[in-house]
Structures are given as C-alpha cells and as structure tokens.
Amino acid sequence: MNSLLMILLMTDSNGKNNPFTTLLPLLLIIVVFYFFMIRPQMKKQKEMKTFRQSLKVGDKIITSGGIYGKISEMRENAIIMEVEDKVRMKVDISSVFRDSSDLQTKK
C-alpha cells in the first residue's frame, strides 16, 4: 500500500506532477458512474424490453399514465387494451410499464 502511495505522489525532477496522479480521480469518477448509474439503468431497460416482448392477449397491464386495462389485441408497435365496460383504447407498447398482477402478489 505504501509503495502505491509513493508512486502516486511521485514528482519528476522538474517538480511537475506525475500525469497518472492527475488522471486517477477522473478515472475513479468514470468507474463510479458506470457501476452506480449507467449499468443499473441498462439492466432496467433490458428487463423492460423483455417484459414488453413477453406480453400476450389477456394480460392485465398498467400504462405509464396510470390506466388499468386488459390486452385484447396486439399489433407491431401498439396494443389495443380493453378498459371498463368494453371501452377499447389503442396504446403504444412503450407506455406499458407494469403487469397489474404484480400488485396483487406484493400485498
């Protein structure tokens, strides 16, 4: 540990800092951002993509606007969902973010 500290604190004969010591904090910040912000976000996006691809007719869903419904028809980029009293709505598949059956199992 002491040898690493000595290497990081070394200066050349002109009194200038080692370039490694100036880049080390920047590299540490990049690593921290990757592991605590970028990587979890990519994982969450991958889970949402697989969830949306696994949707099928008859699933109960919740949209990002808070509308509860049941899938009655699937299209390429849209879902026809049925809400109360046979009202049908066309919703973009990217606005679906949760399966309402998850809410019942959490209680």
Question: What CATH number did the domain enclosing 81 receive?
Answer: 2.30.30
Nearest to 50 by CA among 101, 1, 93, 3: 93
Q: Residue 17's beta-bridge partner residues?
A: 11
Beta bridge partners of 39: none
The whole-angstrom separation of Cα 39 and Cα 69 is: 32
Listed residue (55, 45, 58, 44) closest to 92, CA to CA:
55
Looking at the fold, whether 6 and 39 belong to one and the same domain comes out as: yes
Indicate yes or no: pTM above 0.85. Answer: no
Q: Are residues 61 and 91 in the same domain?
A: yes
Q: How confident is the model at residue 3 (pLDDT cuts 50, 70, 90)?
A: low
Does residue 40 sit in the same domain as residue 24?
yes
Q: DSSP alpha helices (H): ranges in 11-91? A: 19-33, 39-53
Task: Assess whether 28 and 63 both reside in one domain.
Answer: no
Give the model confidence (pLDDT) of 23-49 as tens digits: 888 889 999 999 999 999 999 999 999
Domain count, the chain: 2
Q: Pull the structure tokens for residue 77.
A: 């980029």
- Return contacts of 15-20, CB within 8 angstroms, 24+ apart: none
**Same domain for 69 and 29:** no
| Residue range of the domain that includes 43 | 2-50
| Per-residue pLDDT, 5 | 61
Same domain flag for 70 and 91: yes
